[in-house]
Amino acid sequence: MGTVAQTFGRIAGFAAVATLAIGIEAAAAREKITVYTAVEPEELTGFAEAFEADNPDYEIQWVRDSTGVITAKLLAEGENSPADIVWGLAATSLLMMADRGLLEGYAPAGVDKLSPALMDKQSPPRWVGQRAWVASLCVNTYEAEAKGLPMPTSWQDLLKPVYKGHIVMPNPASSGTGFLDVSSWMQIWGEDMAWSYMDGLHENIGIYTHSGSAPCKMAGRGEYPIGVSFAYKGAQLKSDGAPVAVIAPSEGLGWDLESFGIMKTAKNKAGAKAFADWSVTEKANRMYNEAYAVVAMPGIAKPVDNFPENIQDKMIDNDFGWAAENRKRILEEWEKRYGSKSAPK
């Protein structure tokens, strides 16, 4: 019997030591900044390390999900949100938050060096753009050839019956990339035509994915040869050796701005401001450029490998205000039309 008691005693002792250790660790920790973001997960560690190297008193705690999820979460949490700063989220979403009075105006040190067109018009700005992500098609060249699929060059091409079941697209309700596609089609063609376009496209879609990068990754593996996604993901996969072509459809490309804004209710406002200040520096902008071709600081951006040429020229004249105002209505209609397909094609 003694041995049993001893065993339990040891377990209890271990538990006590473990609790103590956790307590000590917490006490020694740096001050945390809670950051809500929709930036691709593999990029986040690099950004956190770079910021923390310059600001050793702070530690970034990411809350990461796709744009739609993070937006819904912020809007639902409102003033009770644990977020200190929203960072790398679509400007469309930040506009909605600014409208609800959730964001605090703050001019980061050095914000005057950025393109004024890419931030809130109010002074001090409630949100500041960081870099633009741009819609593109990822096409698996190997599978396209094997299946005899011609290379699409426009959005309209995707309606061709030959692509039936070969296209995958992000669900605009969860994915910012999905939403910017839908909103750009509406801005290019008008709403009615855009809906009839999507009715046709729906017939060719294999599945709708949760995130905007998933279609490109699926195209990379050839699971579905054509992915409606964004340029960075395609370029990155191509650089990694995947048989992917990144195509910018001719009618024009939807895009949105990854932007940041400080929460009015931030518990660590000093930390949020420090991160905002860092995010407008040249160093940060150079990091943005590693993946994205269009960044907020003019004159910095170098061409990104494997990006479609002249991608800037094809970016539509995006009306963020319109997109933010109509987002909820568009998504409800989208869900009604395409949200529940009884079986995949």
One-letter-per-residue 3-state SS of the chain: CHHHHHHHHHHHHHHHHHHHHHHHHHHHCCEEEEEEECCCHHHHHHHHHHHHHHCCCEEEEEEECCHHHHHHHHHHHHHHCCCCEEEEEEHHHHHHHHHCCCEECCCCCCHHHCCHHHECCCCCCCCEEEEEEEEEEEEEHHHHHHHCCCCCCCCHHHHCHHHCCCEEEECCCCCHHHHHHHHHHHHHHCHHHHHHHHHHHHHHEEEEECCCCHHHHHHHHCCCCEEEEEHHHHHHHHHCCCCEEEECCCCCECEEEEEEEEECCCCCHHHHHHHHHHHCCHHHHHHHHHHCCEECCCCCCCCCCCCCCCHHHHECCCCHHHHHHHHHHHHHHHHHHHCCCCCCC
From the CB of 74, what's the least distance to another protein, in Å? Answer: 9
From the CB of 245, what's the least distance to another protein, in Å? Answer: 15
Q: Which is nearer to another protein, 235 or 315 (CB)?
A: 235
Q: Which is nearer to another protein, 34 or 55 (CB)?
A: 34
Q: Which is nearer to another protein, 40 or 120 (CB)?
A: 40
Separation CA 211–CA 108 (nearest Å): 31
Amino acid at 216: C
Q: Which is nearer to another protein, 35 or 316 (CB)?
A: 35
Q: State the maximum Cα–Cα separation within the chain, in Å, rounded to a whole number.
A: 81
Q: Which is nearer to another protein, 171 or 289 (CB)?
A: 171
From the CB of 100, what's the least distance to another protein, in Å? Answer: 13
Q: Which is nearer to another protein, 41 or 298 (CB)?
A: 41
Q: Which is nearer to another protein, 37 or 187 (CB)?
A: 37
From the CB of 24, what's the least distance to another protein, in Å? Answer: 16
From the CB of 272, what's the least distance to another protein, in Å? Answer: 15
Give the distance, in angstroms, between the CA of residue 127 and the centroid of all CA atoms in the same chain: 16
Q: Which residues bind another protein (CB under 8 A)?
A: 1, 3-5, 7, 11, 15, 34, 40-42, 44-45, 48, 61-66, 68-69, 72-73, 75-77, 80, 82, 142, 173-174, 206-211, 213-218, 221-224, 240-243, 335-336, 339-345
Instruction: Tell which residue, 219, 296, 226, 308, has the closest CA to residue 260.
Output: 296
From the CB of 60, what's the least distance to another protein, in Å? Answer: 9
Q: 33: which residues sit within 8 A by CB, 6+ positions away?
A: 58, 59, 60, 61, 84, 85, 268, 271, 272, 274, 275
From the CB of 112, what's the least distance to another protein, in Å? Answer: 31
From the CB of 166, what's the least distance to another protein, in Å? Answer: 9
Q: Which is nearer to another protein, 223 or 251 (CB)?
A: 223
Q: Which is nearer to another protein, 110 or 200 (CB)?
A: 200
From the CB of 258, what's the least distance to another protein, in Å? Answer: 16
